[in-house]
A = this chain, B = another copy of it.
Amino acid sequence: MEVESSTAGAAAAAAPLSPGDFRELFDSVDAFLFDCDGVIWKRDRLLDGVSQTLDFLRSKGKKLVFVTNNSSKSRKEYAKKFSSLGISVSEDEIFSSSFAAAMYLKVNDFPQDKKVYVIGGEGIMEELQLAGYTGLGGPEDSKKTAEWKSNCLFEHDKSVGAVVVGLEPVINYYKLQYGTLCIRENPGCRFIVTNRDAVGHMTNLQEWPGAGCMVAAISDSTQKEPIVVGKPSTFMMELLLKKFQIDCSRMCMVGDQLDTDILFGQNAGCKTLLVLSGVTTLSALQDPANDIQPDYYTNRVSDFLDLLGA
Instruction: Enumerate chain A interface residues (CB-CB to B < 8 A).
Output: 42-45, 146, 148-154, 168-173, 176-177, 180-181, 184, 196, 198-199, 202-210, 212-223
Contact = CB atoms under 8 A, between A and B. Distances in A.
A184 B279 CA distance: 14
A154 B203 contact: yes
A28 B52 CA distance: 81
B171 A205 contact: no
A66 to B, nearest CB: 20
A151 B198 contact: no
12 contacts: A44-B150, A146-B202, A150-B204, A151-B204, A151-B205, A153-B205, A153-B206, A171-B171, A198-B223, A199-B221, A216-B216, A216-B219
Contacts of A206: 153-154, 181
Contacts of A146: 169, 202, 208
Contacts of A184: 207
Contact of A217 (B42, B196, B209): B209
Given A151-B205, A203-B152, A171 B169 contact: no
A203 B148 contact: yes
Contacts of A148: 43, 169, 202-203, 208
B221 A198 contact: yes
A207 B181 CA distance: 9
Contacts of A203: 148-154
Contact of A221 (B149, B210, B218): B210
A308 B150 CA distance: 32
A172 B171 CA distance: 5
